[in-house]
Amino acid sequence: MTERTDILVIGGGLVGASLAIALDAAGCDATLVEAAAPKREPPPRYSERNLALARATVNGLRSLGVWPHAEAAATPIRRIHVSRVGEFGSARLDAAEAGVDAVGWTLPARELGHALQLRLDACTALRRRAPATVRALQPVEDGWLARIDDADGERELHARLLVGADGTASMVRDALGIEADTHDYAQTLFVCTVTPERPLRGCAYERFSDDGPVALLPLTDDRAGLVMTVAADEAERVSALDDEAYIALAQQRFGWRAGRLRQPGMRFAHPIRRAAARRVVGPRAVLVGNAAQTIHPIGAQGFNLGLRDALTLAECVIGAADPGDADLLHAYAERRAPDREGVMAMSHGLIRLACLPQPWLGPLRSLGLLSGALVPPLRDALVRHGMGFRGQPPRAVLEQVP
């Protein structure tokens, strides 16, 4: 027997779940297929990847009813300090100067996942298939046919719109025949939680060097999220370090602005690769989040960009007579292009420029940082873009919804 649904979302990660919630809130006929069963256990404090959520992202999560479940675990970012080892220039951005209480918030990823699950549990129109495995995707005249396995066995789902929110190695993207431009940065990202000797008090740090960026993000209870990039050929050695040696390396890379770093939590390592889909829409199908673009984590823009994908798509399809209409999907892609291309260019260009070892670039980099902090038009643009307001944002992320 074939079940019919207007919108089929493949992938129940942070972006796919957010899209499903937005569709449910509008009463859309939607189905979410999730590979893993929902997890509802309380998240640990010292074994977490941490997210830097832009102000626009938090506005969007508020509009979805997700933020009340996560707010207690979030920490406001009121200042951002950017510098490079051995160079005189630095940039300091302040929320108060921008007229806001925070430019963003930090939140453990599992806390956000937990909040999304709580909000998904309250959905009334959404159908969820979890855990479920997608066995095949087949285009048909008026949509897509998906064959999935779940706890009840094999079933077929017919959708007028197929949404790929299934990550970097997207099955939906492959089914659409969309190629992705890839780039291996030959870097590995290590993340963990630490306790700095001097509390960050709402300040987020990003520090560049020839070896890659290091970030320190404020968390609750005077903790901090440590994000350190190392060369891929050094990853195995760094993984084998004990806590004392690992903290010594992080201290050497980051410096002493926060005093001595202590109490490292569980470490997680992630190879860093870029994958940008050459198109984000196809016949009755669309890609969002990492399926559309997986970017370098510098600037922590991945989920922020993906949520704007999801909320813009929801805004386009809600109320539409046919959510898979070609003109509608083309309009979605056109609307997302400036934000998507701008963030991808920024993340790719910044890592290549800020971490290049050529000494002659030092004065230019320093002047660039100083200009971004001291020249009002440049500073205002940096702050606005950093807060997630670029191009034509979805209404759900604006400060005041018209």
Burial of 362 (0-12, 13-18, 19+ CB in 10 A): middle
Q: Break the chain into its structural domains and give their ranges.
A: 2-182+273-397
Does domain 2-182+273-397 correspond to CATH entry 3.50.50.60? yes
User: pLDDT in tens for each of the 402 residues of the chain?
Assistant: 789 999 999 999 999 999 999 999 999 999 999 998 877 665 555 446 889 999 999 999 999 999 999 999 999 999 988 877 655 456 778 888 888 999 999 999 889 999 999 999 999 999 999 999 999 999 998 999 999 999 888 999 999 999 999 999 999 999 999 999 999 988 999 999 999 999 999 999 988 877 888 999 999 999 999 999 999 999 999 999 999 999 999 999 999 999 999 999 889 898 989 999 999 999 999 999 999 999 888 666 889 999 999 999 999 999 999 999 999 999 999 999 999 998 888 776 666 555 445 443 443 433 344 344 444 544 565 667 678 888 889 999 998 643
Kindly give the pairing relationship between strand 2-10 and strand 30-33.
parallel
Compute how many other C-beta atoms are within 10 angstroms of the C-beta atom of residue 353.
Answer: 14
Closest CA to 201 of 70, 75, 72, 383: 75
Closest CA to 193 of 111, 93, 271: 111
